[in-house]
Amino acid sequence: MSKPYDSYASNTSGDTADADSRWLGAVMHVAFFLLLGGALARFLLRHPGEPRTPWIIALSLTLAVLHLLGPVLSGPGPSGPGTPAARRRLVRLGLVVVVWMVLVVLAPSFSWCAVPLFYTGLRTLPARAALVLVTVLTVFVVAAQFRLAGGFDPNLLLAPPAVAAIAAAVFLHTERQAARQRALIDDLIRTRRELAASERREGTLAERQRLSMEIHDSLAQGLSSQRMLLQAAERVWESDQDKARAHVRGAASVAEHNLAEARRFVHDLAPADLARGGGLAAALRA
Are residues 150 and 87 part of one domain?
A: yes
> Do 185 and 254 belong together in one domain?
no
Looking at the structure, tell me whether residues 135 and 244 fall in a common domain.
Answer: no
Number of other residues whose CB lies within 10 A of the CB of residue 174: 13
Q: How many CA atoms within 13 Å lie on the side-chain side of 221? A: 10
Same domain, 183 and 213: no
Q: Is 195 among the domain residues?
A: no
Q: Which residue from 158, 126, 174 is spatially nearest to 27, judged by alpha carbons?
A: 174
Q: Do 147 and 65 share a structural domain?
A: yes
Flag whether pLDDT at 2 surpasses 80: no
Considering the domain architecture, whether residues 138 and 51 belong to the same structural domain is answered as yes
Q: What is the pLDDT of residues 147-169, one digit of tens each?
A: 777 677 787 788 788 888 888 88
With a cut of 60, say whether residue 16 has pLDDT above it.
no
- Flag whether 82 is in a domain: yes
Residue 201 covered by a domain: no
**HSE-up of residue 255 (Cα within 13 Å, Cβ side):** 11
Answer yes or no: do 162 and 51 share one domain: yes
Domain housing 87: 2-189
Q: How far apart are CA 88 and CA 163, in angstroms?
A: 28
Domain count across the chain: 2
Give the global pTM: 0.56
**Claim to verify: residue 158 and residue 245 sit in the same structural domain:** no
The burial of 39, by beta-carbon neighbours within 10 Å (0-12 exposed, 13-18 middle, 19 or more buried), is given as buried
Residues 68 and 115 in one domain: yes
pLDDT at 91: 84
Residue 74 has pLDDT above 80, yes or no: no
To 5 degrees, how large is the angle CA 174–CA 176–CA 179?
110
Q: What mean pLDDT comes out for the span 34-43?
A: 90
State whether 60 and 162 are in the same domain.
Answer: yes
